Amino acid sequence: MSSEDQVPRLFGPTGRIPQVEAVSLTRSTGITALREGWRTAHTVVLVLVAPLLFVSYHAAADPSAGVLGVVVHGALALMASVLVTTYLPLRRGETPQVSSCAVVPALMVVAAGVALNSSVFPGGEAAALAVLSFGLWQRLSGVSTCGVTTTGPRT
């Protein structure tokens, strides 16, 4: 009998110390999950909501703004409409849950309009950009207003 047969194994399924193998789940998050789950309904909502938000944002800000103002308001409307489309269910059939915490990023769309309409604050476009960027980051990163961390576009 060899000395290796008499020594008990230390690691492994028959040893004293179990061996653990890590298994990582391939789960898409953020913009990747939104891109993979994008459906025709997302495009329809984007096409319908973006012009309405553009008109609202352009009217809330100084409508006499030049070409640069029109471009900025269009970009803000596009960001806000993408934020709105994150509330639609994705292709894999995951239905977004409704909660009070899910309303906060949607309120960022309204807050951007308020920032554009603010006559006290001269940098309304920059404030609206910051507010909408925060709302999109919150929806796509998985960080929740209630402190619960999830993955991908969620409520």
Residues 104-148: pLDDT tens digits? 888 999 999 999 888 666 678 889 999 999 988 888 876 666 655
| Structure confidence by residue, pLDDT tens digits, 56-96 | 998 888 777 788 888 999 999 999 999 999 888 877 666 55
Region of residue 147 (phi > 0: left; psi between -120 and 50: alpha; otherwise: beta)? left
Measured CA to CA, the distance from residue 84 to residue 96 in angstroms comes to 12
Average of per-residue pLDDT across 8-35: 70
Mean confidence (pLDDT) of the chain: 79
* Residue given tokens 């009070």 in the structure block: 100
Per-residue pLDDT tens digits for 29-61: 677 778 888 889 899 999 999 999 999 998 888
Distance between CA atoms of residues 143 and 140, nearest Å? 8
The crossing angle, in degrees rounded to 10, of helices 124-141 and 30-37 is 80
- pTM assigned to the model: 0.72
pLDDT surpassing 80 at residue 151: no
For residue 80, the model assigns a pLDDT of: 95
7: pLDDT strictly greater than 90: no
Selection from 106, 109, 111, 112 nearest residue 155 by Cα: 106
pLDDT category, 155, cuts 50, 70, 90? very low
